[in-house]
Amino acid sequence: MVTDVSAKSAADANPHEFARAIALRQLDTRARSRWELEQKLKRKNVPEDVMSAVLDRLTDVGLIDDRAYAHLYVRSKIASKKMARMALRFELRKRGVAEVHILDALNQITDDSEVEMARMLVAKKLTTLDNVSRDVKYRRLSGLLGRKGYSLAIIRHVLADLN
């Protein structure tokens, strides 16, 4: 394990190499947006000019690509959590992805596929709601869909089948 003293001396000796190592270590665990890497480097007190140079270089060689990151993030969250467009847009904005990349990534979700994902969530949750009243089911299911970012129109459409 690197101590604070040795990390500081490494940063002082070659700040570009220090910043590059941090960024590559972050990218090794999962894909990240450029903004996320900037935040990590700022927390490590990397100088602004060094940070910019390192991130520009990683972008040039294709290790940082916010467009690809947005597409990957959307596919992953649809598959694992069945998140709706609104929630995905919020999460990508929070990660510093440009709006143009967000919209491009969200174009892979059609209205029909979003309704189908909501139906799948409802069907899965219904198995745990056998012994509750219709009103409680409706409230719990609408809360679930709302937390996943589904619009009120989709929630009403999907839950209309409960009646």
Q: What is the model's pTM? A: 0.83
**Which backbone phi and psi does 67 adopt, to 5 degrees?**
-65, -50
Contact 97, 66 (CB under 8 A): yes
CATH 1.10.10 is the classification of domain 111-162? yes
Q: Tell whether the model's pLDDT for residue 29 goes beyond 60.
A: yes
3-state secondary structure of 141: helix
Q: Tell whether the model's pLDDT for residue 42 goes beyond 90.
A: yes
Neighbours of 52 (CB within 10 A): 14
Own/partner contacts of 14-23, CB < 8 Å, gap of 24 or more, are: 15/46, 15/47, 15/50, 16/50, 16/53, 16/54, 18/44, 18/46, 19/44, 19/46, 19/50, 19/51, 19/54, 20/54, 20/57, 20/58, 22/46, 23/54, 23/55, 23/58
pLDDT, tens digit, 9 for 90 and up, residues 47-86:
999 999 999 999 999 999 999 999 999 999 999 999 999 9
pLDDT, tens digit, 9 for 90 and up, residues 114-162:
999 999 999 999 999 989 999 999 999 999 999 999 999 999 999 997 7
Per-residue pLDDT averaged across 26-50, rounded?
96
For the chain, the domains span 4-60, 66-106, 111-162
Query: How far from the centroid of its chain's Cα atoms is residue 37's Cα?
Result: 14
